[in-house]
Structure 1
Amino acid sequence: MKVVLSIAGSDSGGGAGIQADIKSAQYHGVFMTTAITAVTAQNTKGVSSIVVLEPSFVKEQINSVLSDFEVSAIKVGMLGSKNLILEIKNVIKDLDIPIILDPVAISRAGSKLIDDEAINSLKELFKYSYLITPNKYEAKLFFGVNSIEDIKNLVNLKTNILFKNMIENQNETLDVLLTSDGQTKQFKTSKANDSNTHGTGCSYSSSIASLIAKKHSLEDAIKISKEYIYNAIKNAPNIGNGNGPINHSLK
């Protein structure tokens, strides 16, 4: 069984973060190990409190996993401080393991999740990443991208970037992959009920990481993962009083 490491925050509501990563990996038949970066008090209605863990302890979690398991992919999610981001950079920069980076900085609703200092530091992880998965707000923040034409004009980034939800209407969603050699590829699905989308970004990136660990091509991993997320939203359990979680197990 392939092993993936998720470096991300914990969601007490169980729909996002580490919890979503574990569930997504389990669906794909992958064993998920974790290094928790932050503990949150949250539910489907929002986040009421966050405690960011000490960078040295996060590093200790990562090293503990890497010293015992043969990790085939690493997913990096929420990193809540500049010091933590720099610590993660020092850990991953010499690893020969594909890094799938979900650059958590702005929510789907457009709210900033980390401060400007952390945002600037997060850019330092890009060159060590196999794939970066920004949402449309993060695409504008980090890459100046507002449209598909903007993506086509990007050059010399030398990493793969999946721009999520570049076109979203009542009928479909469109993601655009910019490969490290400057090629673009589009991925579409029908649009599911968007009242149950809590944790979709986390689940999407961890699903891709799981499939990369299983030696799928990048394009196949994205295509399968996008369909997985669509079906998980479509079959959501409708629990909680806010933006509900998806159905990771699809059973």
Structure 2
Amino acid sequence: MKVVLIVAGSDSSGGAGLQADIKTGEYFGVFTTTAVTALTAQNTLGVTGVVDTKPEFLKAQISAILSDFEISAIKVGMLSNSSIIEVMREFLSSVKVPVVLDPVFISKAGSLLMSKENIQNLKNLFKFATIITPNIYEAKCLFGDDLDIKADANVVIKNIKIGEKSVDRLYYKDGKILEFKSDFLDSENLHGTGCSFSTAIASNLALGKNLEDAIKISKKYIHEAILQAPNLGHGKGPLRHNLRKI
């Protein structure tokens, strides 16, 4: 069984963060290990509190995993401060497996979740990533409104609405662009879609899929997980991660 290391924050409501990552990994048949970067108090209506992990303890978590498991891929999610980002820079500079970096710093509603200084620090990790998975707001913040993508990693921008289609646009480092399309879903059940999408890509890379196939499979998975969402909570509801089939 392939092992994926998830480095991300915890979502107390279970729809995003580590909880969504674990559920997604289980669906794809990989074993997920975790290193917690932050604890959050949240539900489908929003976040009410955050407690960051101390950098030394994040290092201890990662060290414990690496000393006992053979990791086949890494997914990086919420990195809430510069000290945590520096720990990840040191760690990622030494790894030889696929790395999926989800730059969690702007919400789907366009709200900034990280200081501009930390966003700049986050860019220092791009050169270690196999692929970066920003939403449209994050992509515009990183690369400009015209989306002139220049990065040391491949970049896939998630869920660009074009007509009645949801388009994920992959920008390769060499300038090639590829699009993945599905029907756009007008749904309130979108909590954790970004987390789940990036973990699905990491899981499929761990299983030996190439990047294009990993994205294609992951996009289809998210589409079905939204369609079959359990309609829980009073805000942006969670997906149904454990699909019986796609």
TM over 0.5, shorter chain: yes
CA distance in 2, matches of 1:196, 1:112: 21
Contact 1:193 / 1:234 at 8 angstroms: preserved in 2? no
CA distance in 1, matches of 2:144, 2:42: 31
TM-score, with structure 1 as normaliser: 0.94
Question: Which of 188, 207, 214 pairs up with 2:207?
Answer: 214
SS, match of residue 71 in structure 1: coil
Contact 2:161 / 2:184 at 8 angstroms: preserved in 1? no
Residue in structure 1 matched with residue 105 of structure 2 by the alignment: 105
Structure 2, unmatched stretches of 5+, are none
Letter in 2 for 1:20: A
CA distance in 1, matches of 2:106, 2:94: 28
Residue in structure 1 matched with residue 228 of structure 2 by the alignment: 235
Instruction: Go from structure 1 to structure 2 and tell me whether the alpha carbon gap of 1:145 and 1:130 turns closer, same or farther (over 3 Å shift).
Output: farther
Structure 1, unmatched stretches of 5+, are none
Q: Does 1:20 align with 2:20?
A: yes
Residue correspondence of structure 1 range 150-169 to structure 2 within 5 A: 150-151=147-148, 154-155=149-150, 157-169=151-163
CA distance in 2, matches of 1:107, 1:92: 25
Contact 1:163 / 1:175 at 8 angstroms: preserved in 2? yes
Letter in 2 for 1:160: N
List 4+ stretches of structure 1 deviating above 4 A: none
Contact 1:159 / 1:180 at 8 angstroms: preserved in 2? yes
Deviation track 1:77-117 (CA, whole Å, cap 9, x = no partner) reads: 00000111011101111111111000111011100111122
RMSD between aligned alpha carbons?
1.2
Residue in structure 2 matched with residue 249 of structure 1 by the alignment: 242
Residue in structure 1 matched with residue 58 of structure 2 by the alignment: 58
Deviation track 1:123-155 (CA, whole Å, cap 9, x = no partner) reads: 100011000001101101111144xxx44xx45
Residue in structure 2 matched with residue 8 of structure 1 by the alignment: 8
Instruction: Go from structure 1 to structure 2 and tell me whether the alpha carbon gap of 1:179 and 1:144 turns closer, same or farther (over 3 Å shift).
Output: same
Between the two proteins, the alignment pairs up a number of residues equal to: 244
CA distance in 2, matches of 1:193, 1:183: 30
Using the TM superposition, give the Cα deviation of residue 158 of structure 1 relative to its aligned residue in structure 2, in angstroms.
Answer: 3.6
Using the TM superposition, give the Cα deviation of residue 168 of structure 1 relative to its aligned residue in structure 2, in angstroms.
Answer: 4.5
Residue correspondence of structure 1 range 148-187 to structure 2 within 5 A: 150-151=147-148, 154-155=149-150, 157-169=151-163, 171-187=164-180
Contact 1:131 / 1:162 at 8 angstroms: preserved in 2? yes
Contact 1:236 / 1:246 at 8 angstroms: preserved in 2? yes
Deviation track 1:10-63 (CA, whole Å, cap 9, x = no partner) reads: 000000000000000000000000000000000001100000110110111011
TM-score, with structure 2 as normaliser: 0.96
SS, match of residue 72 in structure 2: strand
**Structure 1 range deviating more: 184-193 or 201-210:** 184-193
